[in-house]
Structure formats: C-alpha cells, structure tokens
Amino acid sequence: MLSDLDARRQDRDHVTGVGAASLTLAAATVRRPVDSLLDLGTGCGVQALHAGRHAAAVTATDVAPRALAMARATFTLNDLDVELLEGPWLEPVTGRRFGQIVSNPPFVPGPARVDYVYRDSGQDGDVALAALLRALPGHLEPGGVAQLLGSWLHVRGEDWPDRVRSWLPPGVDAWVLQREVSDPALHVGTWQRDAGLDLASPEARAQAGAWLDWMERERVEAVGFGFVVLRRTDGEPAVVFEDLLGDVADPLGPETAGWLDRVDWLRAHATDDALLAAPLTVAPSVVLETYSEPGAEGWTEAGAAVARLDGPRWRHEVDGPAAALLAGCQGALALGELVELLAVAHDRPAGEIVTAALPAVREFVRHGVLVPA
C-alpha cells in the first residue's frame, strides 16, 4: 500500500496511511459477497483493497488527486482492478447504486475550513455527515448496506440521537453506535496531536483557541464518534442508537452482519403472536452474573444480569422471572409455552408476563443474547 510518510503529516493534502480509524472501519465492515462496492474517500485505498476480497466490482472515489494517485499505485501493486473516480462526496457516482458502501470520510467536526483534506470536510461541524447520511441510501441497491465512521456534535439542550435521527431519510434501517465521547478540549487536542502539531506552539494555541470559541458559539458540549450502519429496506425501519464506549476486542464486522440478520428476523416476527410462536435459545457465549452486597449477615444477593462474553459484551440486568424465562430458552419450547409455564409457577396472568417480557425479549434478540432456534 502506498501513502505519505507521517513526516508529511502537516501538509494540507497529506495522504494518510493505514491508521487506527482505517483499521476500525475495516474490522467493522460486513464481508459478505456483494456485486458492487463503493469506497468513498479512498485515500491510500485501504478500504477498497480489503473489499477486493468480497466485492465483485469495487469503485473508489476521492476529492484529492494526490490520494487518487496513491490509491492507483496501491491497486496496481496489488493487481486489483478498481474503478477510480475523482470528485467530492457522491458526485462522481451520481445516479449509480451499490450493494455496499464504505466510507471513512473527513469526519472531524470543526469550523468550516480545510486545514487537512483527510480530516476536514470544509463544512461547519457535522453538516457534511448530515448531508452524507441523507444522500447515501439513494445510492444503495435495495437491501444494500452502507457503513461509515462519523462524528456528531452533542449540542446543549439536544439529545445526540435526536440530532442524528433527524438526518436519516425514510426507508433505512440504521444502527448508530457511539464509541467515544470527548469534551471540546479533548477533541481539539486529540486532532491537533493527530496532525502532528506541537500543542505548546503559538500556532497550535491560536488554532485551538479559535476551534474552542467556535464550539462555544455553537453550544457544543461534547463530540461523539462512532459507526453508522444504514440498510435500504422496504419494511418498517429499525433505527437504533446506542453507546458502546471502551475497548471491544472482537472485530465488529461479524456483529454488524448479525445485527442486520437479527433486525430482519425481528421484523418478520413483529407481532406478539409471531414472537410467542418462536422457539429461542440463549446464545452460547451468554452467562448469568449475580452480584451481592455486603451487609450484617454477610453477602446478600442484590441483582443479576445476563451478559455476552463476546462481541460488544452486551449486558442486561434481569429479575428472577426474566432469568427463569431465559433459562427455559433452550430451543425446544416456543416462547409462548414458556410464558404459560412461568405464569403457572408464579401464579400470575400470562398476559401480564407477555406485556412485561416481550420488549425485553426483542432487546435480547437484537443484542444476540437470545437467538432463533
């Protein structure tokens, strides 16, 4: 792979090599065979190169001629046939659709200027991400999936999921996974350091001051960073926002593929009757954790949670009846039959248990704690 040396990092048209963000996106990409894949903002070509393994045809775009030259060399060296197009955002692929789109765009929110082409969109804050999310689904085949890295502002008085939700067009499943939240000073410092600036230099201080002033004016309290997964759907869309802060050892690609399948399954079992007719089983990686508090009599059990020991390590607090219901999920009995048994055992109306349990069951399925048998 060909890219600039890190020593050239302070050049405006620096072409980054394979960095942490590149690897994060590559590891989170769904690797199922597709006919066509678009890599938007290809840089040195790293995402397109990975895509060559599972996509029959790969198109890569970039706004920077220097990046395109590097990418062309990368593909030639790797004997990979990639269609390379020059232009901003989705302009080079106007009117075209793809089975899959991946993008590690210039996502760093700041004032509307471009200090580094790899980092700055040139538009205010997260405006470029908003436009991209609105436009991307129009370039997906039915059922096609877009995966990108993104950064959104946490604005005073506004919930970040509401902000991102307002950018989503109709007819898309969306999974927005927030991986980091930085306060303004950390955000600015991180990206100045990333650009190789000496934070104590007068130039860096002036830039940081202007950047922080801009954040203050825009009422920015923090900046979120994470993954966005979009899938074109004709069904009732599933739109999910969640935090997954901290390290995740397992690559998120298989998890994302699983999330898409589980969302499809839930859509096909959207009614209570359909869900109650399904036999489910607890995923093999799931354990029940109980925890206790110290007291005069020694340890007293204070609660329990089911937790996946793989992937995102999702964890859900459960009460006694929920734990009992999960224990019964061994693939033999339909969920409805288990609810009936539980109703008898706890002397409660089955309808009451259904009302309490089904929303949680849907969450368990979405998080891969329960899987269809």
Ligand X SMILES: C[S@@+](CC[C@H](N)C(=O)[O-])C[C@H]1O[C@@H](n2cnc3c(N)ncnc32)[C@H](O)[C@@H]1O
Residues that bind ligand X (CB under 6 A): 16, 22, 25, 41-43, 46-47, 61-64, 67, 88-89, 104-106, 117-118
Our CB check for ligand X shows the closer of 30 and 360 to be: 30
Our separate counts of H helices and E strands in the chain read: 12, 14
Shortest Cβ 47–ligand X spacing (Å): 5
| Residue whose C-alpha is closest to residue 256's, from 27, 46, 23 | 27
**Residue 39 CB, nearest approach to ligand X (Å):** 6
Rounded to the nearest whole angstrom, what is the least distance from the CB of residue 63 to ligand X in the complex?
4
Cβ-based nearer residue to ligand X, 13 or 218: 13
Nearer to ligand X, 62 or 126 (CB): 62
- Distance of alpha carbon 301 from alpha carbon 293, whole angstroms: 6
Closest to ligand X by CB, 16 or 178: 16
Name residue 149's beta-bridge partners.
227
DSSP state of 13: T
Three-state DSSP at 297 gives: coil
Query: What is the DSSP code (8-state) at residue 296?
Result: T
Closest to ligand X by CB, 22 vs 178, is 22
- In the complex, minimum distance from the CB of residue 223 to ligand X, in angstroms, rounded to a whole number: 16
To the nearest 10°, report the CA torsion of 284, 285, 288, 290: 160
State the residue for tokens 């329990």: 304
**Cβ distance to ligand X smaller for residue 63 or 133:** 63
CB of residue 216 vs ligand X: minimum separation in angstroms?
26
Q: How far is the CB of 138 from ligand X (least distance, A)?
A: 16
Phi-psi region of 157 (alpha: psi -120 to 50; beta: other; left: phi over 0): left
List the strands of the sheet with 370-372, edge to edge.
330-334, 279-282, 370-372
* Calpha distance 365→373 (Å, rounded): 11
Instruction: Report the nearest approach of ligand X to the CB of residue 237 (Å).
Output: 27
Closest distance of CB 15 from ligand X, Å:
6
Residue whose CB is less far from ligand X, 152 or 364: 152
Beta carbon nearer to ligand X, 47 or 147: 47
Q: How far apart are CA 306 and CA 321, in angstroms?
A: 13
